[in-house]
Amino acid sequence: MKVGIITFQRADNYGSLLQCYALYKSVESFGVDVEVVDYRNPYIERAYVGLPNFRKNFIVWGKQAYTRFSNYSNVLKKHAAFEKLIGSMHFSEGLKKKDILHNGLEYDLIFTGSDQIWNPVMTNGFDDVYYLNFPGNFFRCSYAASLGNSKSKKLDPQKLKTRIDRMDRISVREQSACETIYALTGKNAQVCVDPTLLLSRTEWEALCEKADIDTEERYILLYYLDDNKDLVKIAQSLAKKHSAKIICCNKNPVSGENIQWIGDLGPVDFVKLVKDAAAVVASSFHAAVFSVIFGKALYAIPHPETGERVKTLAALCGFSDGFYKSFEDFESRNGASLPVSYDYTNLQKAVAESKDFINNAVETAKRRNQVPER
């Protein structure tokens, strides 16, 4: 049986490639042949590789582009590290949108997801490839697809309904997306965990052995997606009180007291940085995920566009106390401790249900297509 995965597999973004890797390994564990469909959305790659949207203010675009390309050697090293992890998976040949929409794809089952594949802000509108809206006699299934901000003005209800109506099975990452889809289509969607949570701590630790970075010194990991001075202040406060340095792996250079910026790290190095950190200060969803996996103290200011995902994770693990609105909020509530308090009971149940979702999709596709065992 041949299973395809369509996701954000080529974005030089830690979370995007790590969730692709995790879903690939999870689906493969059910005894099927898996292939990542190498569809490349230029808008996504431009955003992640370092070419911001030109529609934004030209001066802002110019500053960002200059910053990235003045550190181009780091960009190349980082890209090579991403390619190394990509090489551990089986990819199809490179495919363009027009070819997929015209010719379709030949698989028994295709999973679209995870990541923000259904967020029109990320994909520059509704991308039919990510909705599996193309020819082919295959079982159509989303896995932990994210709409991003379900209240976004770009999330046209009618366009979303038209595309989702064709799906055989639907799973999403946020409860809010589940409710939105039911209201529009009457279809039940299952909330599934991010693929990175499907792999065990032991499996991630084994991958970390392939990391290139050395993390012997005590440090606080700082990682955020947009400019956030409050997170920097939180990291500096923790580092000072706990005699630690700060390692920051943002894509753009970050400077400040006691901050070491490392701009050429790959996804495996990122996982290892979380694993070995004294604490994690972040706005990133996947920084939160790996903090949970490795039982690390997390200090988070949820990102305005992706915060719903972190809140869904927090509801599963009970770590909402690690959310802050600002540095002042952090100081008034919790200025010095490094608390670690996760309840894994509900998470373990959610992971088991998510694995069952994948297995049921595989078995249903086999019966529907009468596919022999591998």
pLDDT of residue 195: 97
Q: What pLDDT is attached to residue 51?
A: 43
Q: How many CA atoms lie within 13 A of 251 on its CB side?
A: 26
pLDDT in tens, the chain (374 residues): 999 999 999 888 899 999 999 999 999 999 999 999 999 888 887 765 544 444 444 444 444 544 555 566 777 888 899 999 999 999 999 999 999 999 999 999 999 999 889 999 889 999 999 999 999 999 999 999 988 776 677 788 999 999 999 999 999 988 888 999 999 999 999 999 999 999 999 999 999 999 999 888 999 999 998 889 999 999 999 999 999 999 999 988 888 999 999 988 999 999 999 999 999 999 998 999 999 999 999 999 887 766 777 877 888 888 877 888 899 998 888 666 666 779 999 999 999 999 999 999 999 999 987 766 65
Residues 6+ apart with CB under 8 A from 141: 109, 110, 111, 112, 167, 168, 169, 170, 171, 361, 365
Q: In the chain, which ranges are E strands?
A: 2-6, 33-36, 109-112, 139-142, 171-172, 190-191, 219-223, 245-248, 259-261, 279-282, 297-300
Q: How far is it, in rounded angstroms, from Cα 234 to Cα 237?
A: 5
Q: Length of the chain, please?
A: 374
* Domains by residue range for the chain, with CATH: 2-197+349-370 (3.40.50), 212-342 (3.40.50.2000)
Q: So what's the pLDDT on residue 97?
A: 95
